[in-house]
Structure 1
Amino acid sequence: METAARGAPRGGGGERLLGELEARVQDVVRASSWWERHGLDCSILALSLLALPPGFLCLRSENVLVFVLGITILGVCHYTLTVKGSHLATHGALTESRRWSKIWAHFFVEVCTAFPAEDARYGHVKMHHGYTNVLGLGDSSTWRLPCLNRYVYMFLAPLLIPIITPLVAVERLRKVRLGAALRALGLISLGLYSHYWLLRHMSGFRSPASALACMLCTRSLLAHPYLHVNVFQHIGLPMFSRDKKPRRIHMMSLGVLNLPRLPVLDWAFGHSIISCHVEHHLFPTLSDNMCLKVKPVVSQFLREKQLPYNEDTYLARFRLFLSHYEELLVHAPPITELAGLQ
């Protein structure tokens, strides 16, 4: 399939356009306070940590509503720490200190998420961001499970994410150096056991089975939108070959999509994953709040230059994937040839 980007300049100019956009965005960043650049997002993560004790204590109650409140608090906090925290830490967007960025990555990715930090950085930052929608490299193919039918994939498979994640982590650890593997395994074990221990001793669960069931429940509370969002924002958009991929600004404007602001997901996943995903892929080291702040600048620039700025609703994408599941998530997507943009 051969096409040109909707109104995109044909031939060259990619570096010039990206440089012009970077200059505009940097003007906004330089005019922003530390609170805007890092403070607000760090405060959200701190509040999530502070909300954990009340959440565990709510599970001691025999009142059903209070118990459900505890599950909700722990579930939202879990996803805020594991998705928002891990995502920002992996990109070094929580602090300007490299040392602290590394520490936070180990905490949020390994302790909270139960996944090796180095592998997360390689797979997400180096591959997915470096080769967005390039088939075989950064095309989100890890989220495709052709063996499942559409209803199992969209409704049941997300519930297994809390179980699959540590299992995949163990498999990945076999491929890294021994020291890093032992450190990651220790931190992952610490995170999982701490969750279990708090449920037994702070929440008062009497049996291991009930505590494990509660762990699964809280860790899968937002698993459905987590899986959905990861496929909605890339799969179904133009895909490229590694030898004919377009310039970076064209790659990101064509292959990334923003969803509308959704309060719970904005809090738990972050703006850079929900409503500012285009901005995040263009400027991955910006925090969630800064992605939201530069969003008007980025959207206006892309539209001025007649480049795509993809947006769609969660419900519309859900319907699209449910009705075109075979085409989008079973069969290999076709390569889009962008004439004049390589």
Structure 2
Amino acid sequence: VEPVEPARGGAGGADAMLRELEALVQDVVTASSWWERHGVDCAILALSLLALPAGFLCLRSENVLVFAIGVTISGVCHYTLTVKGSHLATHGALTESKRWSKIWLLFFVEVCTAFTAECAKHGHVKMHHCYTNVVGLGDSSTWRLPCLNRYVYMFLAPLLLPIITPLVAMERLRQVELRTALRTLGLISLGLYSQYWLLLNVSGFKSPRSALVCMFLIRSLLAHPYLHVNIFQHIGLPMFSRDYKPQRIHMMSLGVLNLPRLPLLDWAFGHSIISCHVEHHLFPRLSDNMCLKVKPVVSQFLREKQLPYNEDSYQARFWLFLRCYEELMVQAPPITELVGLQ
């Protein structure tokens, strides 16, 4: 692995740079309206909820094209609520109210996504964000399945996500208090049964089996890009050890990558997961829209300070992972030599 060159100023210089960047970003946030800070993303989530009835009604049709439109509407709305909604709720980026943040966290993570709110917050916020690309802690290793070959992993494994997610949630219930486990079990059951009930009673499916198959189609519609994005933006970039991890601004500039704007994924996953992932890791409490708004400030600052600002296309990363799958996803990731950054 190529060593990382030292930045001027050492740890003190890194802290000063981060404070300078935080001040620039805070100026943008302060000058932004509530609509820009929270309203745009709340409106996208509200539109997704409002569009669900149209999806369920289209699924009533015997016309193949109309039925396919129903699956598409329902699937995109599902991923907008489960990925974009859960991600923003996990970071408390939907509202400045702590009470409503808790409510939205339970709704989007447990009801919509069928996962445990406490485990989602611990794994994503406290581990992945605090220890980004630190081997064994926040290195996206939960997405690595060395037992699978490249083609099974990249093309078939994503289809298992709708089934694996609630099963993993059930296993994680052992780690929480009984009261929390009962609440989580109830909310997950509510979310899954509600969709099943609507398919039977609104979409008009005649048998439980056909309704379950349609649930699977809806919940797996964007599973491939979801799995791909989760590995593209961290794995293959510099990895660090816990004892010799760099300062925060170096960690995020070195270990995070932005993909280009992709309209469908921007809508369903959010800018902070697609084209503003570097900005999101530096400022995780910003909403998707605000990450997009501060992107020019962050990119210009990092480039002026001669820090990495990683960007690559979806296609380029896809072919990289197919070509280097053994190295990136099967073998243990090598730790980057940090010259002068400790």
TM-score, structure 2 as length reference: 0.99
- Could you tell me which residue of structure 2 aligns to residue 238 of structure 1? 238
Deviation at 1:3, TM superposition (A): 1.3
- Could you tell me which residue of structure 2 aligns to residue 11 of structure 1? 10
1:220 matches 2:220: yes
- Could you tell me which residue of structure 2 aligns to residue 78 of structure 1? 78
- Could you tell me which residue of structure 2 aligns to residue 119 of structure 1? 119
| CA separation of 1:339 and 1:10: change in aligned 2, threshold 3 A | farther
- Could you tell me which residue of structure 1 aligns to residue 158 of structure 2? 158
1:60 matches 2:60: yes
Residues 25, 297 of structure 1: 8 Å contact kept:
yes
User: Could you give the per-residue CA deviations for residues 255-309 of structure 1, whole angstroms, max 9, x where no partner exists?
Assistant: 0000000000000000000000000000000000000000000000000000000
Gaps of 5+ in 1: none
Q: Percent identity?
A: 82
Deviation at 1:175, TM superposition (A): 1.4
Q: Which amino acid aligns with 1:20?
A: E
Q: How far apart, in 2, do the equivalents of 1:142 and 1:10 lie?
A: 35
Residues 10, 340 of structure 1: 8 Å contact kept:
no
1:282 matches 2:291: no
- Could you tell me which residue of structure 1 aligns to residue 332 of structure 2? 332
Residues 2, 338 of structure 1: 8 Å contact kept:
no
Q: How far apart, in 1, do the equivalents of 2:237 and 2:320 lie?
A: 12
Q: Which amino acid aligns with 2:266?
A: D
Q: Spell out the pairing of 1:1-342 with structure 2 (5 A cutoff).
A: 1=1, 3-5=3-5, 8-9=7-8, 11-12=10-11, 13-342=13-342
Q: Which amino acid aligns with 1:303?
A: R
Q: Which amino acid aligns with 2:196?
A: Y
Q: How far apart, in 2, do the equivalents of 1:10 and 1:201 lie?
A: 65
Residues 258, 275 of structure 2: 8 Å contact kept:
yes
Deviation at 1:143, TM superposition (A): 0.1
Residues 7, 340 of structure 2: 8 Å contact kept:
no
Q: How far apart, in 1, do the equivalents of 2:8 and 2:161 lie?
A: 42
Q: How far apart, in 2, do the equivalents of 1:4 and 1:314 lie?
A: 25
Q: How far apart, in 1, do the equivalents of 2:8 and 2:233 lie?
A: 24
Q: Which amino acid aligns with 2:46?
A: A
Residues 41, 94 of structure 2: 8 Å contact kept:
yes
Secondary structure of 1:293 counterpart:
helix
Deviation at 1:126, TM superposition (A): 0.2
Residues 83, 269 of structure 2: 8 Å contact kept:
yes
Q: How far apart, in 2, do the equivalents of 1:337 and 1:247 lie?
A: 14
Q: How far apart, in 2, do the equivalents of 1:197 and 1:146 lie?
A: 38
Cα-Cα RMSD: 0.8
Q: Which amino acid aligns with 1:205?
A: F
Q: How far apart, in 2, do the equivalents of 1:91 and 1:27 lie?
A: 21
Residues 196, 212 of structure 1: 8 Å contact kept:
yes
Deviation at 1:4, TM superposition (A): 2.1
TM-score, structure 1 as length reference: 0.99
Secondary structure of 1:174 counterpart:
helix
Q: How far apart, in 2, do the equivalents of 1:168 and 1:115 lie?
A: 8
Secondary structure of 1:92 counterpart:
coil
Deviation at 1:337, TM superposition (A): 1.7
Secondary structure of 2:10 counterpart:
coil
Q: How far apart, in 2, do the equivalents of 1:9 and 1:318 lie?
A: 34
Q: How far apart, in 1, do the equivalents of 2:32 and 2:9 lie?
A: 35
Secondary structure of 1:51 counterpart:
helix
Residues 143, 231 of structure 2: 8 Å contact kept:
yes
